[in-house]
C-alpha cells in the first residue's frame, strides 16, 4: 500500500490562504488504512481549519466529503459534493489521487494535505515501514524476499558495505542493515549461492530512467475499441 | 603475466612489504599545506599515497586533482573513487581522465552515505556499487565501456586505459562472512589489491586472514592513527567495524598531551610490526598527522 504523512498544519493553512470556500476530500484507499487521509482525519482537519479561521478572522467556509479512491474514475459519481463548486479542494489522498483529481477537475485547484512517503506495510500497531521502491525490476527472488533497493539505504545489489554496524545501518542505529538480513535469510534457506553471484549494475530505465512510467494492456485497449465501434 | 602498471603494483609483485599513506584534500582551494606534508613526510617513506574522495561525505576538493598534484611532485597516488556521487557516465569518464593524467592505481569504494556528511540534503547516487565499479574498470581496460550501440554491441574505446585496481574490506566486523563473500565478488570483478578498514586487534586480523586464505590478492592492513583516547572511544561507538581494545585506549589516555603523537606512532608501529607476517603491506591513515609516518615505520621496523 501507499503510505503518506499529514503535512504540517501551518503549511496547509498557508497554501489555502487566498481561498474562501474549501472542500476537504478524504480518500478511502491506502491513506485510510495508514490513518492519515481517511474520513476521520478529514473531519479532524476540517475542524482544525474552522477553528484557525475563526481565531485569525479569516473568511473561510470548510466542508468535507469522502470518496472510495481518488485514483479511480469509477468512484467519482459517489461524490456528494461537487468539487467544481469550491474555490479549492484539500485532497487527503496520496500524490496519485491529487494528480488524478486535478486532471478530472481542471478548473479547481486540488491541494495536497499529505506528503506521500513510500510503499509499505503495517509492521506493528501504528507503525508502517518501506518494503518496495517500485524500481520496475524486482530482485526479491534472489534476495530472500528482502528488498535491497528499498531497504538498503544505498540500494546496493552485491552485498553489505563497510557501514554495517552491529546489524544496523550507518545512516541510523534504528535501521536494520538490509544486506545482513538478506545474508541471514539466504543462509537459513540454504541459498547463500545467491549472495555469491555477481549482480550487474541495475538498469535504471525501469526506474524513472526514461521518465513517466505507464502500463498498457493492449488486448483491453483493442476490446474497448471494438465495443465502441459496434 | 602482464607488466605492472605502477610502482605500487611492482612492489607488491616483488613480494616487498608495501606501505601506503593517505591524504585528504582540503575544503577549499588551499591545497598546498596537504601536498607539502605529503612531500615532507610521505615521499620516500611510502610506496604510494591514497587521495580520499570526498571523505565521509564532507564536501571538499576532489581526489583526481590531489592525485595529479602528487604525481607532479614524484609521489605515486592511489585514486580513491566512491560510487556515492557519480553515475556510471561520470565514473567512467573520470577513469579515462585519470589515466590521461598518469594516474594508475585506483581504489573502488561504495562511500559513506550522504547522511554522514555535511550535505545531508544531497541525492545519494549509487548508480553502481563497488563491485560494479570494478567491473566497469575491468571493462574499460578491455577496451569497452558499460554501454552498447544500437545493435547491442559494447561501445569500443579509442585508446584504452590500464589500472592497478583495489578494493576495501572490513576485517573486524561482528559478522564477517558477508564481508568475505563480497570481497570474493570484488576479486572476481577485477580487484588486484585490498586495503582494509582500520584494525587494532592483531588476533582478529589473523583469524580474518586465515578465512580469506583462498583470496589470492595482496592485503594491506589498515592502520588509523589514534589522536586521543576520546577519538578511540568515539570510533568504538560510532565507526562501523572498528574496535579499539581497552589497553590501547588506556595507553592514549595515560599519555601526556605533548607525548600523544609519540605514543600514537608507537601504537601504530607496534600494530604494523605484529601484523607484518600476516599480510603483504600496511595502509597508514594518519588523518593529517603525516609527520608521525617516519616514527611509525621505525617502530614497525620497516626501512623506507
pLDDT in tens, A77-121: 999 999 999 999 999 999 999 999 999 999 999 999 999 999 999
Interface mutation vs chain A, best among B240, B243, B285, most A CBs within 10 Å = B240
Contact B217, B186 (CB under 8 A): no
Q: How far is A110 from chain B (nearest CA, A)?
A: 28
Q: Which of residues 187-226 of A touch B (CB under 8 A)?
A: 192, 195-196, 198-202, 204
**In this complex, do B185 and A159 lie within 8 Å of one another by their Cβ atoms?**
yes
Interface mutation vs chain B, best among A150, A153, A158, most B CBs within 10 Å = A158
Q: What are the contacts of B297-300 at 24+ separation with CB within 8 A?
A: B297/B19, B297/B45, B297/B269, B298/B269, B299/B265, B299/B266, B299/B268, B299/B269, B299/B270, B299/B272, B299/B273, B300/B268, B300/B269, B300/B270, B300/B272, B300/B273, B300/B276
Q: Tell me, what's the pLDDT at B1?
A: 58
**In this complex, do A154 and B174 lie within 8 Å of one another by their Cβ atoms?**
no
For B164, the grid coordinates are 592497478
Q: Is A149 helix (H, G, I), strand (E, B) or coil?
A: helix
For A49, the grid coordinates are 481549519
**In this complex, do A172 and B115 lie within 8 Å of one another by their Cβ atoms?**
yes
**CA nearest to B237 within chain A:** A165
Q: Who contacts A32 (Cβ-Cβ below 8 Å, separation ≥6)? A: A26, A38, A39
Interface mutation vs chain B, best among A161, A192, A193, A199, most B CBs within 10 Å = A161
- A163 vs B112, B128, B188: nearest CB: B112
Percent of chain A with pLDDT over 70: 100
List chain A residues with CB under 8 Å of B174: 166-167
Q: Tell me, what's the pLDDT at B239?
A: 87
Give me the total of CB pairs closer than 8 Å, taking one residue from chain A and one from chain B: 97
What is each CA distance from A229 to A49, A87, A216, A217, in whole angstroms?
Answer: 50, 39, 20, 19
Taken in order of first residue, the domains within chain B and their CATH numbers are 12-299 (3.20.20.220)
**CA nearest to A155 within chain B:** B126
Residues (pLDDT < 70) of chain A are none
**CA nearest to A180 within chain B:** B178
**In this complex, do A170 and B240 lie within 8 Å of one another by their Cβ atoms?**
yes
Taken in order of first residue, the domains within chain A and their CATH numbers are 2-118 (3.40.50), 136-230 (no CATH)
- A157 vs B115, B129, B169: nearest CB: B129
CA angle (A187 as vertex; A184, A192 as ends), nearest 5: 115
Residues (pLDDT < 70) of chain B are 1
**CA nearest to B84 within chain A:** A154
Amino acid at each position: 500500500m501507499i503510505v503518506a504523512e499529514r503535512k504540517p498544519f501551518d503549511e496547509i493553512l498557508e497554501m489555502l490562504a487566498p481561498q474562501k470556500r474549501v472542500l476537504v476530500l478524504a480518500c478511502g484507499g491506502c491513506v485510510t488504512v495508514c490513518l492519515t487521509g481517511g474520513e476521520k482525519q478529514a473531519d479532524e482537519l476540517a475542524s482544525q481549519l474552522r477553528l484557525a479561521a475563526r481565531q485569525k478572522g479569516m473568511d473561510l467556509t470548510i466542508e468535507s466529503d469522502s470518496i472510495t479512491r481518488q485514483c479511480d474514475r469509477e468512484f467519482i459519481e459517489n461524490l456528494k459534493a461537487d468539487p467544481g463548486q469550491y474555490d479549492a479542494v484539500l485532497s487527503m489522498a496520496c500524490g496519485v489521487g491529487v494528480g488524478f483529481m486535478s486532471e478530472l477537475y481542471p478548473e479547481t485547484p486540488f491541494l495536497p494535505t499529505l506528503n506521500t512517503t513510500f510503499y509499505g506495510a503495517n509492521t506493528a500497531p501504528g507503525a508502517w515501514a518501506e518494503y518496495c521502491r517500485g524500481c520496475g525490476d524486482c530482485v526479491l527472488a534472489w534476495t530472500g524476499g528482502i528488498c535491497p533497493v528499498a531497504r538498503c539505504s544505498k540500494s546496493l545489489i552485491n552485498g553489505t558495505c563497510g557501514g554495517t554496524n552491529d546489524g544496523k545501518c550507518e545512516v541510523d542505529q534504528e535501521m536494520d542493515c538490509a544486506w545482513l538480513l538478506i545474508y541471514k535469510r539466504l543462509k537459513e534457506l540454504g541459498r547463500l549461492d545467491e549472495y555469491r553471484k555477481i549482480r550487474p549494475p541495475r538498469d535504471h530505465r525501469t526506474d524513472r530512467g526514461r521518465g513517466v512510467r505507464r502500463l498498457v494492456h493492449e488486448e483491453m485497449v483493442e476490446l474497448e475499441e471494438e465495443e465502441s465501434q459496434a | 603475466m602482464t607488466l605492472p602498471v605502477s610502482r605500487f603494483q611492482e612492489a607488491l609483485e616483488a613480494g616487498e612489504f608495501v606501505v601506503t599513506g593517505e591524504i585528504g584534500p582540503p575544503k577549499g582551494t588551499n591545497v598546498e599545506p596537504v601536498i607539502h606534508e605529503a612531500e615532507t613526510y610521505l615521499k620516500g617513506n611510502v610506496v604510494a599515497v591514497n587521495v580520499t574522495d570526498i571523505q565521509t561525505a564532507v564536501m571538499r576538493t576532489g581526489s583526481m586533482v590531489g592525485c595529479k598534484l602528487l604525481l607532479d611532485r614524484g609521489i605515486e597516488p592511489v585514486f580513491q573513487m566512491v560510487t556515492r556521487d557519480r553515475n556510471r557516465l561520470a565514473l567512467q569518464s573520470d577513469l579515462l581522465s585519470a589515466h590521461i593524467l598518469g594516474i594508475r592505481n585506483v581504489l573502488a569504494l561504495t562511500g559513506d552515505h550522504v547522511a554522514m556528511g555535511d550535505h545531508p540534503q544531497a541525492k545519494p547516487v549509487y548508480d553502481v556499487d563497488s563491485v560494479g565499479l570494478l567491473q566497469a574498470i575491468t571493462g574499460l581496460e578491455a577496451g569497452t565501456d558499460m554501454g552498447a550501440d544500437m545493435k547491442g554491441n559494447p561501445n569500443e574505446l579509442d585508446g584504452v586505459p590500464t589500472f592497478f585496481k583495489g578494493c576495501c574490506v572490513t576485517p573486524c566486523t561482528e559478522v564477517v562472512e558477508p564481508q568475505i563473500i563480497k570481497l570474493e565478488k570484488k576479486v572476481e570483478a577485477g580487484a588486484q589489491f585490498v586495503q582494509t578498514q582500520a584494525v587494532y586487534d592483531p588476533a582478529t586480523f589473523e583469524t580474518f586472514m586465515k578465512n580469506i586464505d583462498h583470496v589470492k590478492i595482496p592485503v594491506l592492513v589498515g592502520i588509523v592513527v589514534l589522536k586521543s583516547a576520546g577519538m578511540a572511544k568515539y570510533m568504538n561507538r560510532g565507526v562501523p567495524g572498528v574496535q579499539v581494545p581497552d589497553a590501547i585506549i588506556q595507553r592514549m589516555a595515560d599519555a601526556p598531551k605533548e607525548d600523544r603523537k609519540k605514543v600514537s606512532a608507537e601504537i601504530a608501529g607496534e600494530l604494523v610490526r605484529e601484523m607484518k607476517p600476516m599480510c603483504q603491506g600496511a595502509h597508514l591513515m594518519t588523518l593529517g598527522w603525516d609527520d608521525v609516518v617516519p616514527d611509525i615505520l621505525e617502530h614497525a621496523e620497516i626501512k623506507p
